[in-house]
């Protein structure tokens, strides 16, 4: 009997210890279990369809080639064009800078949202994504679980709030995305006899008719994993962010894999940014004799923070390991632009190719790097300028005079119309579109501001920009029964959002509130419910110590 009691006690202590350490066990075990059950095939070459062997028209005579380069979580401060030097102030991005120097630089370019999927959906359709219910970003259930455990085991002030009942009702991440009924810019260009190619991140659903191959792209080299290289690869340098739930999620569910047109997953070849760049060059060379649209959706510099050892070694003067690794990721993105430009020149396509470069949202606070969005406040996941004010530039030597600068507010919803107009394509007339064609404003054919009013909408976090005034309002779910928190900024005189004028400007606040309410009333119901609320510090990185008085907003997802 005594022996049995000891066994029971041992079992109970073991179970209790395991429960208390369940997060660490999950983080340790999940990658190993994934490796054991993996069906990822070794790398295999991707053969892009060849266009005509010869061209009926010269590159100058036919519709322009169009290349849209979208980075992920790139901060405004990550481009030396905007700040003189990225990372610690020493990193130059000369090839990205040159796009703007040889075309147009937008100083007030806005992402469609402060988070991945909804921003990409708006960019693809020219519509606020909430018009068709894509309000929240598809997320792994593992990520919700990790956030829940992080909140319980390592409570912070303010705390993350998780609704596991809602999370349990959500389908897998592959089944969450943009409805096929939406018309993408790829579909519009296909109707103009463009060859359309997608490379990299999609994040608008990977099941059935939500995939890029069903949404306007002839071919797709689809990013299925999240690693740039396997974490134990000899050519990779890793910089994990210990204790951060979002970073923990990425490392836990991570894999190193891509798909070709929805086929069996296989390993990429080499560092992911370089792999996608080489694929982009292959697309250009294969289609040099016909108009093409290339959507190059890079994963960089999104976490996990991983760099190639070659890029890392080239930045030995940066002493902070995480900052150096991140800077090396930016270096590879700049090299990507260099290789694409070289291929266009080699194939005689430089003059009549429209290249657009931007980011899906601002830099992420959970990376723990304080200057990513400098001089702006806030981060990815918040509607402060740091979350939505992004690098934005375009080059088209045949149509856009070099060296232009625009200070007008433009938005991702404008890309749909601008690209369609460049290609001579008609846009849909059976639905509400929200963007404008920017080309007349760039060429001087049209004067004034492209937009009078712009909106951002993510659950209870809702924002309006109107003639340089901006209002952000969001609920305070950690303080039940309290009114929403509201910020009112005059960006014309306070572009870094230092002075909340809510009490000093009641009439302006009422005007913007009415605009925001009217816009909200037009939006569709979300396609799925929010399962998590994660607090975002505005003036500190997410993993900094919280102190009474720190400004924060909850990100609902």
Q: Which helix (H) or strand (E) holds 488?
A: strand 485-490
Whole-model pTM: value is 0.93
The CA distance from 553 to 557, in Å, is: 13
- What range defines the domain where residue 210 resides? 63-451
Q: Is the pLDDT of residue 116 over 60?
A: yes
User: Would you state the pLDDT for residue 16?
Assistant: 45
Quick one: pLDDT band at residue 104, thresholds 50, 70, 90? very high
Residue 137: inside a domain? yes
Q: Is residue 205 part of a domain?
A: yes
Q: How far apart are CA 406 and CA 65, in angstroms?
A: 23
Q: How far apart are the first and last CA of the chain?
A: 52
351 belongs to a structural domain:
yes
Q: What pLDDT, in 10s, does the model give residues 9-31?
A: 445 444 444 444 444 544 445 55
pLDDT band at 5 (very low <50, low <70, confident <90, very high): low
Residue 505 burial class via C-beta count within 10 angstroms: exposed 0-12, middle 13-18, buried 19 and up: middle
Residues in the chain: 557
Q: How many domains does the chain have?
A: 1
For the stretch 502-514, pLDDT in tens is: 999 999 999 999 9
Q: In this predicted structure, what is the pLDDT of residue 13?
A: 44
Percent of the chain with pLDDT over 70: 90
Reported as a single tens digit per residue, the pLDDT across 271-284 is 999 999 999 999 99
Q: Where are the alpha helices (DSSP H) in 361-402?
A: 385-388
Within-domain flag for 470: no
Domain membership of residue 39 (yes or no) is no
Q: What is the mean pLDDT of the chain?
A: 91
Task: Please report which confidence band the pLDDT of residue 114 belongs to, taking 50, 70 and 90 as the band edges.
Answer: very high
Whole-number Å distance between alpha carbons of 216 and 123: 14
pLDDT of residue 493: 98
Answer whether residue 277 is part of any domain: yes
| Sign, Cα dihedral of 489, 494, 497, 502 | negative
CATH number at residue 308: 3.40.720.10
For residues 456 and 128, what is the distance between their CA atoms, to the nearest angstrom? 8
Q: Is residue 286 part of a domain?
A: yes
Does the residue 255 lie in any domain?
Answer: yes
């Amino acid at each position: 009997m005594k022996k049995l009691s000891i066994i029971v006690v041992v079992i109970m202590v073991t179970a209790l210890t395991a429960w208390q350490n369940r997060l660490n066990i999950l983080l340790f075990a999940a990658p190993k279990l994934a490796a054991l059950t993996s069906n990822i095939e070794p790398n295999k070459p991707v053969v892009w369809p060849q266009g005509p062997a010869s061209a009926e028209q010269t590159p100058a005579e036919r519709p322009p080639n169009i290349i849209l380069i979208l980075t992920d979580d790139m901060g405004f401060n990550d481009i030396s064009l905007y700040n003189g030097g990225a990372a610690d102030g020493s990193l130059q991005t000369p090839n990205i800078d040159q796009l703007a120097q040889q075309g147009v630089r937008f100083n007030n370019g806005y992402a469609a949202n402060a988070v991945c999927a909804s921003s990409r959906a708006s960019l693809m359709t020219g519509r606020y994504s909430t018009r068709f219910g894509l309000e929240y970003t598809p997320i792994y259930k593992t990520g919700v679980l990790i956030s829940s455990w992080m909140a319980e085991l390592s409570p912070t002030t303010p705390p993350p709030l998780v609704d596991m009942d809602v999370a349990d009702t959500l389908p897998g991440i592959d089944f969450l995305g943009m409805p096929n009924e939406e018309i993408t810019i790829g579909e519009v260009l296909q109707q103009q006899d463009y060859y359309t190619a997608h490379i990299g991140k999609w994040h608008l659903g990977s099941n059935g008719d939500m995939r890029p191959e069903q949404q306007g792209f002839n071919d797709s080299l689809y990013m299925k994993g999240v690693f740039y290289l396997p974490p134990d690869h000899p050519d990779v340098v890793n910089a994990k962010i210990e204790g951060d739930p979002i970073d923990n999620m990425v490392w836990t569910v991570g894999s190193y894999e891509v798909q070709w047109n929805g086929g069996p997953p296989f390993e990429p070849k080499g560092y992911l940014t370089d792999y996608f760049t080489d694929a982009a060059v292959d697309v250009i060379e294969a289609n040099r004799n016909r108009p093409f649209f290339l959507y190059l959706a890079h994963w960089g510099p999104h976490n996990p923070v991983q760099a190639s050892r070659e890029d890392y070694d080239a930045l030995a003067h940066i002493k902070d390991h995480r900052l150096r690794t991140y800077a090396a990721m930016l270096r590879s993105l700049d090299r990507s632009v260099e290789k694409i430009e070289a291929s266009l020149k080699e194939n005689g396509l430089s003059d009549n190719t429209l290249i657009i470069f931007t980011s899906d949202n601002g830099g992420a606070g959970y990376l723990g790097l304080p200057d990513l969005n400098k001089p702006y406040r806030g981060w990815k996941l918040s509607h402060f300028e740091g979350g939505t004010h992004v690098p934005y530039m375009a080059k088209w030597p045949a149509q856009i005079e070099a060296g232009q600068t625009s200070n007008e507010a433009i938005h991702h919803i404008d890309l749909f119309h601008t690209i369609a107009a460049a290609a001579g394509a008609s846009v849909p007339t059976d639905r509400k579109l929200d963007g404008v064609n920017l080309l007349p404003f760039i060429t001087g054919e049209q004067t004034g501001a492209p937009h009078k009013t712009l909106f951002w909408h993510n659950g209870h976090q809702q924002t309006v920009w109107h003639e340089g005034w901006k209002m952000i309002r969001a609920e305070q779910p950690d303080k039940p029964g309290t009114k929403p928190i509201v910020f009112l900024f005059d960006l014309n005189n306070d572009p870094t959002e230092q002075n909340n004028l809510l009490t000093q400007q009641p009439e302006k606040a009422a005007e913007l509130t009415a605009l925001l309410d009217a816009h909200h009333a037009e939006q569709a119901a979300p396609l799925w419910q929010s399962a998590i609320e994660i607090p975002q510090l505005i003036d500190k990185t997410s993993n900094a110590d919280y102190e009474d008085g720190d400004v924060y907003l909850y990100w609902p997802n």
